[in-house]
Every structure is written in structure tokens, then in C-alpha cells.
Structure 1
Amino acid sequence: MIMDVRKLSPGDWVIYRKQKSSKSPGERAIDVRPASGGEMYHYMVDKFWVVDEILDQNQIRLRTRRGKRHTVDADDLRLRKPRFWERWLYRSRFETIESTPPDDSDDSQPGPLPSEPARDE
């Protein structure tokens, strides 16, 4: 489902499914797949972020738990609003972000889409 940027405003809670790679995925890892070399795994992790700013050109700036900022396209399929039960269950994660001051970093490239091969970093 594509996110309707007109329905978002600063302070809204969102969940972003971020692709990661490591030798040992954590307990929150989903869709775990071995890399072609065999030593690494590619997987997805749900990130609980807050909308910091609505930008031009259908982009959204999001703020993380540690105050970092990421700019993503509003039509990114990995971005969604939390369901009712997720708002209740993960409330403390979102509230932590709201109380954390933003820092000046901006990671405008959140990573490859799930259908693209991930880079080993």
C-alpha cells in the first residue's frame, strides 16, 4: 500500500522496514536469507520512527530513536503507519523518539528495496 503523504503531518508515528546485513541477525529480524557467500545474512527489521518534516517532491524526513534523520520517498513500500495494536504495543518506542532532540545527520539513502540484492557492508 502506498503512503498518502497528504494524510501525514509532523509528529505522526510510522514504521519503516529497513534492510540489513550481518553475520548474526537479532531477535527482531524477519525475512532472514543467507547471502550468496554464505557467511552473512540479509534480513529486514521494523524501525519505529516519527515524521519530522514533509518535504517537496513527495518525500518525508523521519526521525529515529537516537535523533538521526532519514529522508525517504512517501511511496516507499517499506513505509507504513502503525496498526492500532502496534501503536499500543510499541508506544514507548515512539514516545522515546518524541522526547529525543534531533541531530544534524541525514541519511537520504535508506537502502535497497527488498527485491534488490543487498550490499555486504
Structure 2
Amino acid sequence: MFRPGDVVVYTKTKHTTSPGPRAHDVEPESRGEYYTYAVDKYWLVTGVDAEGIHCRTRRGKTHLIAPDDPRLRPANLWEKLFLRSRFPSPA
């Protein structure tokens, strides 16, 4: 499904005291000052092999994601056009 050079969106779950501006699906804890929320990460596929899908962030970090991870999806046209500055460059 994914090939090297594809741009993907990974929805990462976070748990902190203050959600950032890009947070969505924000849920407060029942008794406490923490929030659980999701943030979309914009990555580039650098390779696909038997281990999984290798992705790179804008800052150069690499991640190995399982091919059946439901939090990983291809970027849609809207994201490719209007959020292209959030994706890493292919070079």
C-alpha cells in the first residue's frame, strides 16, 4: 500500500497538562489536570520491508511502523496541497 516517497499522516496519542494548538479529540481526565488527545504527524515513507514501514520526520527522526497500524494513513489531497510545508522534503 505504501511506497518510498509517499507522504503519510500518523495520528499520535499524547497525554499532557496542556494540549497544543494542533491537538484534536481532546478529552480531560475524570479527576485531574491532564488531557489525552491526538496530534497528526506528517511523515515521509523512506522504505518498506518485512519489518514494516520506515518513515522520516521533518527534523530527520526515523520511525518503524507496523503495516497494519490503524493510526497510519496516506495523506489526502487537501493535506498534500495546503499542509505541504509540514511534510519532510524528499531530498
TM over 0.5: yes
User: What is the alpha-carbon distance in structure 1 between the residues aligned to residue 80 and residue 36 of structure 2?
Assistant: 27
Closer/same/farther in 2, CA of residues 34 and 11 from structure 1, 3 Å limit: same
Give the TM-score of the pair, scaled to structure 1.
Answer: 0.69
Give the counterpart of 2:79 among 61, 78, 86: 86
User: What is the alpha-carbon distance in structure 1 between the residues aligned to residue 43 and residue 61 of structure 2?
Assistant: 10
Give the counterpart of 2:89 among 69, 91, 98: 98
Q: Which structure carries more helix by proportion?
A: 1
Identity of aligned residues (%): 48
Which deviations, in whole Å up to 9, do the C-alpha atoms of 1:17-76 show, x marking residues without a partner?
Answer: 00011111011101111235512111000000000111204x101101110011111111
Please show how residues 45-56 of structure 1 align to structure 2 within 5 Å: 45-56=39-50
Moved over 6 A (4+): none
Deviation at 1:16, TM superposition (A): 0.4
Aligned residue in 2 for 1:14 = 8
Could you tell me which amino acid in structure 1 is paired with residue 59 of structure 2? R
Q: Secondary structure at the match of 1:43?
A: strand
User: What is the alpha-carbon distance in structure 2 between the residues aligned to residue 53 and residue 39 of structure 1?
Assistant: 40
Tell me the C-alpha RMSD between the 2 structures.
1.6
Q: Which runs of 5+ in 2 are unaligned?
A: none
Aligned residue in 1 for 2:21 = 27
Give the TM-score of the pair, scaled to structure 2.
Answer: 0.90
Q: Which runs of 5+ in 1 are unaligned?
A: 1-6, 101-121
Please show how residues 66-81 of structure 1 align to structure 2 within 5 Å: 66-81=59-74
Aligned pairs, how many? 91
User: What is the alpha-carbon distance in structure 2 between the residues aligned to residue 99 and residue 54 of structure 1?
Assistant: 15
Closer/same/farther in 2, CA of residues 35 and 55 from structure 1, 3 Å limit: farther
Could you tell me which amino acid in structure 2 is paired with residue 17 of structure 1? T
